[in-house]
Amino acid sequence: MDQLALQRRYGDEQVLVIPAASVEHLAHGLQPQTNLAYAQPSFIYRYQAEGNPEWRQLIPYIVLRQADNVWLTRRLSTQGESRLHNLFSLGVGGHINPVDATGASPLMAALHRELEEELYLDNWHPTNLEPIALINDLTNAVSRDHLGVVFVLEVPPTAKVSVRERDKMQGQWVQMAEVRKRYYEQLESWSQLVLVYLEKACN
């Protein structure tokens, strides 16, 4: 997609990015490094970042776990990113925008905003959240534009979770073993990497 088409698509949306050169030392996959302050994040127009190898867009990627179950969503064709339509995901998240920059951490503000926009979290409010890893996935065009910051939220047994944007996604609790057995090939690539991490953590 050329620059003019990208500008028409994304308009004046700005997103938080870091220079791609600042993370070129990272290997493919989930990396335990989570401090990106050295990379000097900044906001630029999204149309300037999409498909541009000079930048990586930062994405909080929140995985919900309840005992042996993980929250599995399916992105419907009504979602904006056509390259992810009908894929399953273990993560909730999205771009970090200037509206998130009013406090100390745009990343954490975006995390809570995305949870609020996408899910109903009844009888529970997540606190004391810390990133556990970065997703550095170079296997496809969508992932090469982005860098994921992974959080795992332990959801209490009494808490209920449901999808807020039911016109855009479906969601359900699924046992991790069942995700591996039935859904692995249909997971977006980030979720495949996260599933492997979770499986190792449980063993």
Of residues 122, 126, 125, 116, the one with CA closest to residue 165: 116
DSSP letter for each residue of 57-119: EEEEEEEEEETTEEEEEEE-TTSS-GGGTT-EESEEE----GGGTTSS-HHHHHHHHHHHHHE
pLDDT of residue 76: 76
- At the fourth CATH level, the homologous superfamily of domain 3-202 is Nucleoside Triphosphate Pyrophosphohydrolase (3.90.79.10)
Dihedral over alpha carbons 46, 110, 140, 14 (to 10 degrees): 0
- 4-41 residue pLDDT tens: 899 999 999 999 999 999 999 999 999 988 888 889 99
Find out whether 149 and 107 touch, Cβ atoms under 8 Å.
Answer: yes
Higher-confidence position of 50 and 87: 50
For the chain, give the longest Cα–Cα distance.
49
Buried b (16+ CB within 10 A) or exposed e, 66-105: beebbbbbbbeeeeeeeebeebbbbbbbbbbbeebbeeee
Confidence category of residue 166, pLDDT binned at 50, 70, 90: confident
- 61-110 residue pLDDT tens: 999 999 999 999 998 765 555 555 578 999 999 999 999 998 889 999 99
- β-pairing, 133-136 vs 169-175, is unpaired
Token pair of 72, please? 């599995």
Mean pLDDT for all residues in the chain: 90
**End-to-end alpha carbon distance in the chain:** 44
Q: Which residues contact 42 (CB under 8 A, 6 or more apart)?
A: 16, 17, 18
pLDDT of residue 169: 86
Query: SS3 of 131, please?
Result: coil
- Residue-range domain boundaries for the chain: 3-202
